[in-house]
Structure 1
Amino acid sequence: MASPAFEEIVEDFEFLDDWEDRYRHVIEQGKLMDPLDEALKVPATRVHGCASQVWLHPVIEGGVFRFDGDSDAMIVRGLIAVLRALYNGVPVAEVARIDARAELARLGLNDHLSAQRSNGLRAMIERIRMVAAEAA
């Protein structure tokens, strides 16, 4: 059920043997994202529950969900990039059907993130699902 962009990340991870290489790859994904416009870094787009500052700006056009995001932490920016690969371009009605936990487990992220980062990741996923549910 994952998007082709997410499947590409899964394939990349299959070639990376250790977690440090995977960690660097996640960070690299974040570096490839355009920064979120400062005007969009407002309380309404801030995700609470993350140890670092995180902003997600969802856009729903033609029934299709996508979002942009940013963080002041490089690894979290990378996690946002991974979530964008998972959710961007998905019909808004399908967002709730994506089992993000299972998809991210394919990358081994569940086993290698600190408790704070895991909580922040859950908060981002909850925000994505909430916005999509409200729009559906």
Structure 2
Amino acid sequence: MTITEIQNEIIEEFSMFDDWQERYQYMIDLGKTLPLISPEYKTDDNIITGCQSKVWVHANMNNDKVEFTADSDAIITKGIIAILIRVFSNQHPKDIIEGNTEFIDTIGLKEHLSPTRANGLVSMIKQIKMYALAYQTQLN
């Protein structure tokens, strides 16, 4: 699936819930399904700076696509990174770099996060795109 197709799927899933309590619970459930980062990558080098919680993201190149794994010590944050991993993992670096994140505004996520969590969300996206940029550079 393309990044846009996955984002549209997430928008559709979030539209099924009437209020943000249900959406938070859904994010928590998504966090529980997150492919966990291997303990060897749970290092300071893989921590996302700018997050209130600890969030680790690791990237690996496999068949010209970037695969991400992640973890967090906070359940909501783990749900947020799970959504981002779902969107951007197993995509070509160029598509990740060029991929927009408008779906976050469409589902209303950013406006329902505390300022520190919203900053963390921006930091997570930035780091994912930085990994993609590094891999894209290697391909060229």
- Find the counterpart in structure 2 of residue 45 from structure 1: 46
Matches for 1:46-125 after TM superposition, within 5 Å: 46-100=47-101, 102-125=102-125
RMSD: 1.4
Residue ranges of structure 2 left out of the alignment (5+ in a row) = none
Q: Which amino acid aligns with 1:51?
A: Q
Q: Distance in 2 between matches of 1:132 and 1:121?
A: 17
Letter in 2 for 1:113: L
The SS at the match of 2:48 is: coil
Percent of aligned pairs with the same amino acid: 32
Q: How far did 1:62 drift?
A: 1.8
- TM-score of the pair, normalised by structure 1: 0.92
Q: Please report how far the alpha carbon of residue 3 of structure 1 lies from its aligned counterpart in structure 2 after TM superposition.
A: 4.7
Q: Give TM-score scaled by structure 2 length.
A: 0.89
Q: What amino acid does structure 2 have at the position aligned with 1:107? A: I
* Aligned-partner Cα distance in 2 for 1:20–1:92: 34
Match of residue 9 from structure 1: 10
1:120, 1:22 → 2: CA distance?
19
Which residue of structure 1 lines up, in the alignment, with residue 133 of structure 2?
133
